[in-house]
Amino acid sequence: MKKMYFAWVAFLMTTIAFSQATITGTVIDGELNEPLPGASVVIQGTTNGTSTDFDGKFQIDVTESSGTLVVSYIGYTSKTVAFTTTGSIGSITLEPDAEQLGEVVVVGSGVIDLAEDRKTPVAVSTVTKGVIQRKAVGNVDVAEIVKNTPSVYVSGQTGFGDGQLFMRGFDQTNVAVLLNGQPVNGMEDGRVYWSNWAGIADVANGVQVQRGLGSSKLAISSVGGTMNLVMKSTDREQGGFARFLTGNDGYLKGTVSYDTGINDKGWSFSLLLDHWQAENKWADGTFGSGQTYFFSVGYKPNEDHSFNFLITGAPQQHGQRWSQSLSTIEENPKFNQHWGYTSGLNSGTGYYTDDIESERTNFYHKPVANLNWDWLINDKSQLSTVVYASVGRGGGTGDRGDGRVRTDDGQMDYYGIEQQNLADPDGIGQSGDYFILDDGEEEGNYIRRSSMNNHLWYGLVTNYETELNEYFDFNVGADFRFYTGDHFRQVTDFYGLDGWADDRPDNLVVTESFDYNPWSTLFDYADEDQRIDYDYSETINYQGIFSQVEYSKNKFSAFLQGAVSNQSYVRDGRLVGPGKSDKLNKIGYNLKGGMSYDVNEEFTLFVNSGHYSRQPFLDNVFSNIRYSNDLVVPDVDNEEITSVESGFRFNKGNFRANFDFYYTNWDNRVILTTGTEMIDGDEVDVNNFRRGVRQEHKGVELDLKYRIANKYNLGGYISAGSWNYRSIDRIDSYSDDSGELLSSVTSGNDLNSVDGTHITTAPQTTAGLTFDGEIFKGLRIDANWNFYERHYQNDIDFSGSDIETQDNGILPSYSLLDAGIEYAFMFGENKLTLRANGFNLLDDIELQQTDDFGYYNTNGFTWNASVRYDF
């Protein structure tokens, strides 16, 4: 009996001891080599699971001595880890999955159109948060985040935020840019100013480039493609970081960020602040300074509803550099004629400085606020809505008058300008007003003006999606935008004059000047009686609805997507052409469809096609955008864009390959230029509307990725395009003063001569290689090489009412090499990261772009280095 008793006791003790057995370990972020808090750890085939703590550690009770752990985290590739004994199993490393950006979208998932949300593939490339934080900080423009992408070209220019993005040969006015689901392209002309979004790199969860048709359901300007900027929402985990960064030419930047984490009542808060400044970006006179602020509040009252409010902005000012002649670039590739020293300058304000000042300074402040609401209606349906608003204030400075003075080395002589203005007998300046100095020299007046673009933009995007059955998904939504932009000029600096008497039909002398500080310009700008040259407002209202249905069963998927919209235009002129114009309404639509077939688990074939009927930009609707309320006659018709793309996706183990073919026919577009014409013996300023311009873009793209030993990532891409003009239907020339139609050309050899002329926006052949990997624990290196070829200079002369083609050859091919090195280690209980980046390591000065006035060259070697402390 005693033996049986002790046997039972021993059995029970053994059972209890085993039932309390645990497995412990640490989950590591394979990209940043840091602990990954909040990762899920589950015993495979059970509901028994836990989450890692702030230090990435976990402890889970087990009832078997062997089994498998499933470790996962949003935005990372899940991993299974087998165990045969209890206790510690050490570190488990999860690698980011660049194809799963959608999983890091905490709120707004229904209005942010990411490629992962649709089963039928599109041509897509994704840049993860870790890559952005490493490579796109400091003195690197936002657009350069995506330069390692097929058929994408980023002309970096030489000023902060002045870069240009091209996709499949289309410029950024025809590449849709979305910020958390809300459109960013200017309502008037489609432009994107990257300087307004300098802070995105600090608050981004990821950036996704969808070339061509893309997956967006909105009726947006996706002629070349779509760029999705996915901003962080309020972080649910507690923590923060502080970072200091320095770079070439006196670049300095400091950043602090903190997240409270979510409390027991469902509230969470996030804050980020930074400041940057630099003497130059690289070229002379390209100084800059600015700030970034980000504040976000999250509220999750229950499992069905999630709210997030955020406000962010990046006020900045920077000196600009325009194109240069070849001889200037050869002599001094850093030369910039727009700046000068202000030594000795005294315009009655009592200041004497040794600072520099640029005639061409961009300054802007565009606070953006949005409120997201996600409602999980049931396990099959959800509604996502974002309400947003932005207030833009600022513009760019430039010259006014005929009295510019330069030093012997070609820079601005501000002291000389001031002395010249002070010599004006009446102290009131105007264009064309010349006076004689004591030495008999004839001189003119000069002021610096600011061309202002103040706007208010607000809107709403809402999307309802539901699973109709096992095979069909359906969604429907609406997109409303309301925009008013005020355009005028104001005086920035009189340089010794008492007033300015030109540019107003009422002959009023303007006596007030206004600073170009991006903070003060939010509230301090010229009243109507202090504005010069032009003053008008534009109102654009937009209403759209969209819908999509997708079918997926076994190996086959297909989708059909459509949108229809109404857009209205009104111009309200002041100074010249007072009063409101007639309202013009234009209906637009798009229709897209596609299908895919999984040949096997690794190989997928797909084809997509679509047609856009896109309303014209407002700038192409009025015969003179600055001075006339007259609509172009006859009305400018919609642009018609037809696209077809096909390709395959191959994904097996550590290797991925994507191939895409595309064809885009862009018809009935308008190209607006300004020039002069001889009318009845007089030289008249005119606006020339090239109507019915047709372009044809086609090409192939291949990108490859391979991961070696779960430590090293290799990538490469190559793309080749053929982009040409095909035809022009007519040319209408309107007077720059009255808006009167002066001439119309509808036939002739000149119009037919454009067929086959190359598009000159970007290189038509691009290629690149990328590498990154952990050399040993804590030390990572990365590098990318980009090659550009077949950048044509063949051009069409649009300056007059006739068409002339000319063959200027091809810009020389060139390549650029960038690299970075990073070391991270634990500093007490927190992490310290040291990072250095080098751009254009070989210091090659190459021609990267051309326009009607000259050439842009690449920056030479630039660098930045940072230290980051995560707590």
Q: How much is the pLDDT for 750?
A: 60
Q: How much is the pLDDT for 99?
A: 56
Of the pLDDT bands very low, low, confident and very high (cuts 50, 70, 90), residue 14 is very low
CATH topology identical between 101-231 and 239-350+359-870:
no
**Lowest-confidence pick of 182-191, 269-278, 489-498:** 182-191
Of the pLDDT bands very low, low, confident and very high (cuts 50, 70, 90), residue 4 is very low
Closest CA relative to residue 459, chosen from 474, 447, 477: 477
Q: How much is the pLDDT for 690?
A: 86
**Lowest-confidence pick of 295-304, 346-355, 555-564, 685-694:** 346-355
**Lowest-confidence pick of 224-228, 352-356, 722-726, 836-840:** 352-356
Closest CA relative to residue 391, chosen from 461, 482, 492, 460: 482
For 17, residues 6+ apart whose C-beta sits below 8 A from its C-beta are none
Residue 762 CA to residue 174 CA, distance in Å, equals: 14
Q: Which of 228-232, 432-436, 494-498, 686-690 has the largest mean confidence?
A: 494-498
Placement of tokens 């793209």 in the chain: 701
Q: What is the DSSP letter of 197?
A: G
* Tokens, residue 772: 């990154």
Q: Is the pLDDT of residue 18 over 50?
A: no
Closest CA relative to residue 31, chosen from 82, 98, 79: 98
Element (H, E) at 200: helix 200-203
Residue 84 CA to residue 828 CA, distance in Å, equals: 33
CB 401 within 8 A of CB 434: no
- The larger pLDDT score, comparing residue 316 to residue 341, is at 316
What is the arithmetic mean of pLDDT over 47-52?
A: 79
What is the arithmetic mean of pLDDT over 397-416?
A: 91
| CATH number of this structure's domain 2-94, picked from the four choices 3.40.50.2300, 2.60.40.1120, 1.20.1250.20, 3.30.1360.120 | 2.60.40.1120
Of the pLDDT bands very low, low, confident and very high (cuts 50, 70, 90), residue 96 is low
Q: How much is the pLDDT for 807?
A: 61
Of the pLDDT bands very low, low, confident and very high (cuts 50, 70, 90), residue 312 is very high
**How much of the chain, in percent, has pLDDT values that exceed 70?**
90
pTM for the full model? 0.86
Q: Is the pLDDT of residue 350 over 50?
A: no
Q: Quick one: 101-231 is in which CATH superfamily?
A: TonB-dependent receptor, plug domain (2.170.130.10)
Question: Which burial class, exposed, middle or buried, applies to 166 when counting CB atoms under 10 A from its CB (0-12, 13-18, 19+)?
Answer: buried
Q: List pLDDT tens digits, range 470-485.
A: 899 999 999 999 999 9
Q: How does 563-591 read in b/e, with b if 16+ C-beta sit within 10 Å?
A: bbbebebbbbbebbbeeebeebebebbbe
Annotated domain spans of the chain? 2-94, 101-231, 239-350+359-870
**Lowest-confidence pick of 41-55, 536-550, 643-657, 751-765:** 41-55
Q: Is the pLDDT of residue 155 over 80?
A: yes
What is the arithmetic mean of pLDDT over 581-597?
A: 94
Q: What is the dihedral of CA 329, 334, 340, 342, to 10 degrees?
A: -170
Of the pLDDT bands very low, low, confident and very high (cuts 50, 70, 90), residue 204 is confident
Q: List pLDDT tens digits, range 102-125.
A: 555 556 666 777 776 778 888 888
What is the arithmetic mean of pLDDT over 22-47?
A: 78
**How much of the chain, in percent, has pLDDT values that exceed 90?**
49
Output the DSSP codes for 227-291: EEEEE----SS-EEEEEEEEETTTEEEEEEEEE----TTSEEEEEEEEEEEES-SSSTT--EEEE
Of the pLDDT bands very low, low, confident and very high (cuts 50, 70, 90), residue 440 is low
For residue 256, how many C-alpha atoms fall within 13 Å in the half-sphere facing its CB? 0
Q: List pLDDT tens digits, range 829-863.
A: 888 999 999 999 999 999 998 887 889 999 999 99
Q: Sort strands 339-341 and 795-797 into parallel, antiparallel or unpaired.
A: unpaired
Q: List pLDDT tens digits, range 368-381.
A: 999 999 999 998 99
Q: How much is the pLDDT for 31?
A: 60
CB 211 within 8 A of CB 643: no
What is the arithmetic mean of pLDDT over 565-580?
A: 88
* Amino acid occupying residue 474: F
CB 418 within 8 A of CB 446: no
Q: Is the pLDDT of residue 349 over 70?
A: no
User: Which conformational region is residue 72 in: left (phi greater than 0), alpha (psi within -120 to 50 degrees), or beta?
Assistant: beta
**How many Cβ atoms are within 10 Å of 173's Cβ, its own excluded?**
17
Placement of tokens 């889970």 in the chain: 60
Q: How much is the pLDDT for 351?
A: 39
For residue 612, how many C-alpha atoms fall within 13 Å in the half-sphere facing its CB? 27
User: Which conformational region is residue 440 in: left (phi greater than 0), alpha (psi within -120 to 50 degrees), or beta?
Assistant: left
CB 92 within 8 A of CB 56: no
How many residues belong to the chain?
871
**Lowest-confidence pick of 108-117, 155-164, 701-710, 807-816:** 108-117
For 2, residues 6+ apart whose C-beta sits below 8 A from its C-beta are none
Q: How much is the pLDDT for 347?
A: 46
Q: How does 844-864 read in b/e, with b if 16+ C-beta sit within 10 Å?
A: ebbbbbbeeeebbbbbbebbb
| Cis previous bond, 96, omega within 30 | no
| CATH number of this structure's domain 239-350+359-870, picked from the four choices 2.40.37.10, 3.30.300.180, 2.40.170.20, 3.40.50.620 | 2.40.170.20
Cα Dmax for the chain: 131
- The larger pLDDT score, comparing residue 467 to residue 236, is at 467
